[in-house]
Amino acid sequence: MGYETLNVETSNHVAVIRLDRPEALNAISSTLLGELAKALKAAQANDKVRCIVLTGSEKAFAAGADIREMSEKSFVDVFMGDLFGDEVDQFLRIRKPIIAAVAGYALGGGCELAMMCDIIIAADTAKFGQPEINLGVIAGIGGTQRLTRAVGKAKSMDMHLTGRFMDAAEAEKAGLVSRVVPAKKLMDEAMGAAGKIAEKSMVTVTAIKEAVNQSQEVGLSDGLLFEKRMFHALFNTEDRVEGMKAFVEKREPQFRDR
């Protein structure tokens, strides 16, 4: 499928979705967000895809929602149209793992998109920020919630209230990103991680994504119960039998997603 604002390539079980609006630093227009939701849904439906990498350009992962487009809208437009609501819901329904490979600016909605992914791998050029305050608004697709969970209240307040940017080193130290690599190695690192995930049983991968995400939604005892029941349930799978048998027989497991 051809897209106006994205490039999508699938190889070795990994779908790479590249945001592609260089003229606006990948600013997130409604077209871009709609196409992204479609591309993710297609990747979810494609049995050959076992992991998804979402990335941008060297200069920008995404510099936020498209300010030009938003500047024309009224409260009634965004409220009654539920601006970005459907697309975000569709993003969050993707059950395959999504790695954000971030170089350059990840600001506002760009930072929020990265945080909606499951793992963030950053180039040493990455800059994260929630500068919506400078436009007279606040984050709209999770910034006040996910950044706070990721880096704690003090740093999240600092980022949202001052609008300052966090560089890659600070983001790694604060726990927002899982790895920082030289910009030239960003895609190799992301594809390496995606390739590793693609080798595992998709049943187990999906269970892990659900269980870790559960930790962001519920209290500890409910989360622990969810995890324990999921652990018990996986004893029903052929891949669990194969994984443990392969360990005992000192060989690599052959998972079949069953």
Locus of tokens 């909605």 = 109
- Residue 52 in tokens: 């998804």
Tell me, residue by residue from 100 to 139, as one string, x for binding to ligand CO8 by CB under 6 A and - for no binding.
-----x-xxx--x------------------xx--x---x
Nearer to ligand CO8, 30 or 204 (CB): 30
Q: At what angle do helices 202-214 and 238-248 cross, to 10 degrees?
A: 110
24, 39, 60, 65: the catalytic one is: 65
Is there binding between residue 19 and ligand CO8 (CB under 6 A)?
no
* SS3 (DSSP) at 97: coil
Residue selected from 16, 51, 65, 123 as contacting ligand CO8 according to rule CB under 6 A: 65
Residue selected from 61, 84, 91, 128 as contacting ligand CO8 according to rule CB under 6 A: 84
Residue selected from 19, 25, 159, 193 as contacting ligand CO8 according to rule CB under 6 A: 25
Q: At what angle do helices 85-92 and 30-45 cross, to 10 degrees?
A: 20
* 112 among known catalytic residues: yes
**Bridge partners, residue 128, by sequence:** 106, 166
CB under 8 Å to 129, separation ≥6 — which residues? 105, 106, 107, 108, 111, 159, 163, 164, 165, 166
CB of 57 to ligand CO8, least distance (A): 11
Compute CA 112 distance to the chain's CA centroid, rounded to the nearest angstrom. Answer: 9
Residue selected from 31, 41, 49, 67 as contacting ligand CO8 according to rule CB under 6 A: 67
Q: 156-162: list long-range contacts, CB under 8 Å, 24+ apart.
A: 159/128, 159/129, 159/130, 160/130, 160/132, 160/133, 161/133, 162/133
* 65 among known catalytic residues: yes
* 64 among known catalytic residues: no
* 87 among known catalytic residues: no
132, 142, 189, 194: the catalytic one is: 132
112, 190, 194, 198: the catalytic one is: 112
Residue numbers at the binding site for ligand CO8 (CB under 6 A): 24-25, 27-28, 33, 63-68, 84, 105, 107-109, 112, 131-132, 135, 139-141
Active site residues: 65, 109, 112, 132
